[in-house]
Amino acid sequence: MFSARWQIDAKFGHKQTVLDLMRKWEREIGAQVGIAELKFQIMTGSIGAREATIETHHQVETLAQLEEFFAKIGKIDAHAKWGKEMEPYVVSGTSLWTIYRIVE
């Protein structure tokens, strides 16, 4: 099992806007690709992390399941539109995917 984590940093003063847009993505795009099955979570920096950091976690059984998720969202026009809507509020170059193996 894996935890796929996507991280971005909000520009100063825009953290709530980015969080609102993340929730919009969850409702409108994530719902189309079965995000509920991936134990989707949104987290923000608190202690020992940058406060501007926003991270999403997706839990997948296999890397193939993650690839399927990427393929599905890539075909949704609203996903590309959402990215352009989000762009003015995030620090350029901070987008980062990390994949962790969950040890049970």
Q: What is the CATH number of the domain that holds 75?
A: 3.30.70.100
**Tokens representing 73?**
């969202």
Strand order in the sheet with 53-60: 41-44, 53-60, 2-9, 96-101
| pLDDT tens track for 89-101 | 999 999 999 999 9
Q: Indicate the pTM of the whole model.
A: 0.89
- Residue 99 · residue 27 · CB < 8 Å: no
The domain of 84 spans 2-101
| pLDDT tens track for 49-81 | 899 999 999 999 999 999 999 999 999 999 999
**In total, how many domains does the chain have?**
1
